[in-house]
């Protein structure tokens, strides 16, 4: 049976577009808010579901992260999702979500992890004065921007870079790397292998 992939989005959906453009078979798109990513799903004729944070306390201190994580996991499992790819998903989920998809949640991050974790990775790279950064595709865990690394690609930091210009060059690499990794992971699962086995394969890609 083919692996059923869900892509989680919160914003413009450019990573989702890259996955679609590369021919990745997507069973479902999930979102935590109304966003352009849902429009991308509709344009690609991919089923989508909105599990809106506003019903769980929104974006402030009242947000019930645990209940949201449980309900999101239940929504995805009810649709027989096997693999989750976060694509600019803006909600940190709890262990309850990861337990529902053990070692089957992927994420892409705009740095060479373990350097520069968190939401401001590109700005942190510029502030640190490093000569290169990049992007990382990894297995997501409850710990933010942690988990086994599947693939990384380097991006040079130019003398005239600002956060926007550097981030755009990272995104260009990310839009090539993430679909390649997701495709390999889906093939591995289809063959009965584990997700981490893809890391060795990606060294030559």
Residues known to be catalytic: 109
Are 181 and 198 spatial neighbours (Cβ–Cβ below 8 Å)? yes
CA distance 145 to 81: 22
**Side-by-side strand order, sheet with 5-9:** 48-50, 28-31, 5-9, 83-86, 105-109, 132-139, 149-156
DSSP 56: G
Using DSSP's 3-state secondary structure scheme, residue 8 falls into: strand
């Amino acid at each position: 049976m083919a692996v059923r992939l869900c892509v989680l989005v919160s914003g413009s959906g450019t990573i989702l577009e890259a996955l679609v453009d590369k021919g990745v078979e997507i069973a479902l798109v999930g979102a935590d808010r109304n966003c352009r990513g849902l429009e991308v799903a509709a344009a690609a004729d991919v089923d989508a579901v909105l599990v809106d944070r506003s019903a769980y306390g929104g974006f402030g201190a009242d947000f019930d992260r645990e209940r949201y994580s449980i309900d999101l996991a239940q929504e995805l499992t009810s649709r027989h999702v096997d693999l989750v790819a976060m694509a600019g998903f803006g909600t940190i989920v709890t262990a309850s979500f990861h337990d529902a998809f053990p070692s089957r949640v992927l994420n892409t991050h705009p740095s060479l992890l373990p350097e520069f974790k968190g939401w401001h990775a590109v700005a942190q790279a510029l502030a640190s004065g490093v000569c290169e950064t990049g992007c990382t595709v990894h297995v997501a865990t409850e710990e933010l921007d942690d988990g086994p690394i599947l693939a990384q690609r380097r991006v040079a930091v130019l003398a005239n870079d600002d956060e926007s210009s550097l981030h755009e060059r990272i995104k260009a690499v990310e839009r090539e790397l993430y679909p390649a990794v997701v495709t390999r992971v889906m093939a591995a699962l289809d063959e009965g292998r584990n997700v981490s086995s893809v890391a060795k394969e990606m060294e030559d890609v």
